[in-house]
Structure 1
Amino acid sequence: MRSGAPSPAAPPRALAGPLRSSEPARAAPVRSAAAALLEEAADLLVVHRDFGAALRTCERACRALACGAPAEEPAGASLEVKCSLCVVGIQALAEMNRWREVLSWVLQYYQAPEKLPPKVLELCVLLYSKMQEPAAMLEVVRAWLQDPDNQGLPEYRALVELHLQRVLLPLGCLSEAEELVVDSVAFSDEQRLDALQAISTAREQQKHEHSGSEEAQKLNQEGSSSHKFLSLLMSLRRLWDFVVSHFFSLPFKKSLVAALILCLLVARFDPASPSSLPFLYKLAHIFHRIREAVSSPLGQLPIQN
């Protein structure tokens, strides 16, 4: 992933402060191996664009830090170097489109989510949010924010806001977001009202999307019923066409006889009348003759005077 990747970290600041004119000149402390490797990794990343070599250099420097910092190096210097190495490593992984490995790669050097530096955690949240997978950071940021040691850091409120905007709201965790804003002491009253307003807007949008999905589902069901009804009508139409075409395909004489019988049945057949009995016998005889003629393709209906 080359576009939109996190910006590489700059080389660490000088460990010794600037000399004042009244101070005697002192020898600068010897740079640690990790600091030298950090400068090399940043050069490989920015100048040479060799992301694989930059990542390997960061890993080698982190292993050197794990063995222990030199005695003459300040305690906070190694932590800053380690944080900068992780930033360069994250950038290298992102450039190689291996951003899914970022979280596991960082945690192998810090062991626990709550031990992540604020700068590294912020970079991870931005990266996974940009790649539309904020759920990967949900438990990590949750553990970091709940740690008492992190709640006193100056970056705490910024990370709470980032967690709200990039993780909780996109995932629809509105109740958790509201609880976090209400219980957090990092917000002022005005900032808390702004955050609650953003959560309320997200909740209204979620309800609107839910009602829209229900309407779409209802329309789909109605459309399915209409489609079934139309299919039934088409089947009945095809059946009617088949019956009509089959009827008109019969010989003309057979069709005429069938129509004649139908007319006789409608016009003269009255089974309740005693005078209709001779006619019924004659009709049964005619029907018997017609059935014999129809059943035989060569049969001819004899004509009697």
Structure 2
Amino acid sequence: MKNEVSLSAPGLRGSVGPLRSSEPVGLTPPPSLLQSLLEEAADHLVVHRDFKACLETCQRGCERLGSSLQAEETEDSKDLKCFLCVVGIQALAEMDRWREVLSWLLQYYQIPEHLPPKILELCILLYSRVKEPQAILEVASNWLRDPANRDLPEYGAIFELHLFRVLLPLHCWTDAEDMVGLCAEEDLRLAASHAIHTARQQQEENFKETKEPDPQKESQRGPFCRKLLALWKLLRWLLESVVDHLLALPLKKTLLIALIFGLLVVRFDPASPSSLPFFYKLAHVFYRIRGTISSPCYLSSYNS
């Protein structure tokens, strides 16, 4: 997973990519210690590629924010914690520890509905990239149903991302239709309804193709099957005719023919293992001939 699930700024609509110490953070400067932790974490992620140290630095910064701002978080502290978590998520993804992302976030955001839109967007992209969208299904659905989040400017982007990256790939048609009713933008509702209808119809067509065989393929396959069955019947008839003819011959002639045929096979490759099944069949024929000759009906007809 290393480098495969690293999420950068172009893949996140409106969210930040890996932060660099030389880039402006766009916040009212927080306390110097917390600012330095953010810069240190960004350097570990981008410059040194030391993802473990980056994650530990993000944890120290989030813990300091939690211990010093228990009463009421300011806007700057919220933004700073959000950026630290974004960098921490990228570090976890680089270490192929993406399964720990949600549990790691909930240490600092105890209620999933309170996750910032940027972090939720990053989580949806991450779990969609690793083809595990069910991991974020419940969290994202509850976040979109929370009335406090519906007035956020990022709500439409989160709704669209959740629909196309989570609900439709998982074929959650009922949940997707319920989500459409929560969206306030009419254009987005119409587009979402059309996408759900198209995806559902496509799934039904694929299901029918797997259940119902193609008549054209069956018609092409039919003559071949009939020819194969006719060939099998012909070979079976020839084999039965040969066996019946051998049984009708006197014992000496039958043994002589079998001996000559066996010598021809042994001559070609006497040590070949493929010759063994033939001798097993030949012995079976001998037993059958001997049983037929030893029967009272055959002896009485031969003596007469």
TM-score (norm 1): 0.68
C-alpha contact 1:293 1:301 (8 A) present in aligned 2: no
**How many Å apart are 1:242 and its aligned residue?**
5.0
Tell me, in whole angstroms, the C-alpha distance in 1 between the residues paired with 2:157 and 2:164. 11
C-alpha contact 2:5 2:94 (8 A) present in aligned 1: no
Can you list the C-alpha shifts for 1:27-48, whole angstroms capped at 9, x where unaligned?
xx742x3332111010110111
The residue aligned with 1:6 is: 7
Tell me, in whole angstroms, the C-alpha distance in 1 between the residues paired with 2:70 and 2:205. 60
Secondary structure of the 1:67 match is helix
Unaligned runs of 5+ in 2: 9-16, 252-294
Query: Bigger CA drift: 39-48 or 142-151?
Result: 142-151
CA separation of 1:253/1:158 partners in 2, compared to 1, >3 Å: closer, same or farther? closer
Query: Bigger CA drift: 5-14 or 136-145?
Result: 5-14
Tell me, in whole angstroms, the C-alpha distance in 2 between the residues paired with 1:58 and 1:137. 22
C-alpha contact 1:51 1:95 (8 A) present in aligned 2: yes
Tell me, in whole angstroms, the C-alpha distance in 1 between the residues paired with 2:75 and 2:199. 41
Tell me, in whole angstroms, the C-alpha distance in 1 between the residues paired with 2:302 and 2:114. 106
Q: Tell whether 2:195 aligns with 1:198.
A: yes
Letter of the structure 1 residue corresponding to residue 55 of structure 2: L
Give the RMSD, CA atoms, in angstroms: 3.6
Tell me, in whole angstroms, the C-alpha distance in 2 between the residues paired with 1:245 and 1:199. 67
Secondary structure of the 1:149 match is helix
Tell me, in whole angstroms, the C-alpha distance in 1 between the residues paired with 2:179 and 2:213. 34
Tell me, in whole angstroms, the C-alpha distance in 2 between the residues paired with 1:240 and 1:164. 64
Can you list the C-alpha shifts for 1:86-113, whole angstroms capped at 9, x where unaligned?
1001111111222222222212221221
Secondary structure of the 2:198 match is helix
Tell me, in whole angstroms, the C-alpha distance in 2 between the residues paired with 1:13 and 1:80. 9
Tell me, in whole angstroms, the C-alpha distance in 2 between the residues paired with 1:82 and 1:44. 17
**How many Å apart are 1:253 and its aligned residue?**
6.2
C-alpha contact 1:44 1:50 (8 A) present in aligned 2: yes
CA separation of 1:217/1:50 partners in 2, compared to 1, >3 Å: closer, same or farther? farther
C-alpha contact 1:2 1:97 (8 A) present in aligned 2: no
Structure-to-structure mapping, 1:50-65, within 5 angstroms: 50-65=50-65
Secondary structure of the 1:152 match is coil
Secondary structure of the 2:148 match is coil
CA separation of 1:253/1:98 partners in 2, compared to 1, >3 Å: closer, same or farther? closer
Tell me, in whole angstroms, the C-alpha distance in 2 between the residues paired with 1:190 and 1:300. 98
Secondary structure of the 2:147 match is coil
Tell me, in whole angstroms, the C-alpha distance in 1 between the residues paired with 2:159 and 2:204. 25
C-alpha contact 2:5 2:93 (8 A) present in aligned 1: no
The residue aligned with 2:180 is: 181
**How many Å apart are 1:66 and its aligned residue?**
2.2
Tell me, in whole angstroms, the C-alpha distance in 2 between the residues paired with 1:57 and 1:215. 58
The residue aligned with 1:249 is: 246
The residue aligned with 1:210 is: 207
CA separation of 1:135/1:40 partners in 2, compared to 1, >3 Å: closer, same or farther? same
Secondary structure of the 1:64 match is helix
Tell me, in whole angstroms, the C-alpha distance in 2 between the residues paired with 1:233 and 1:153. 74
Q: Tell whether 2:294 aligns with 1:295.
A: no
C-alpha contact 1:9 1:84 (8 A) present in aligned 2: no
Tell me, in whole angstroms, the C-alpha distance in 2 between the residues paired with 1:215 and 1:243. 40
Q: Tell whether 2:102 aligns with 1:106.
A: no
CA separation of 1:233/1:139 partners in 2, compared to 1, >3 Å: closer, same or farther? farther
Count of residue pairs brought into register by the alignment: 243
Tell me, in whole angstroms, the C-alpha distance in 2 between the residues paired with 1:173 and 1:292. 77
The residue aligned with 1:46 is: 46
**How many Å apart are 1:250 and its aligned residue?**
2.9
The residue aligned with 1:97 is: 96
CA separation of 1:117/1:249 partners in 2, compared to 1, >3 Å: closer, same or farther? same
Q: Aligned residues: percent identity?
A: 47
The residue aligned with 2:288 is: none
Structure-to-structure mapping, 1:4-153, within 5 angstroms: 4-7=5-8, 8-10=17-19, 12-16=25-29, 30-31=31-32, 33-69=33-69, 75-153=74-152
CA separation of 1:244/1:69 partners in 2, compared to 1, >3 Å: closer, same or farther? same
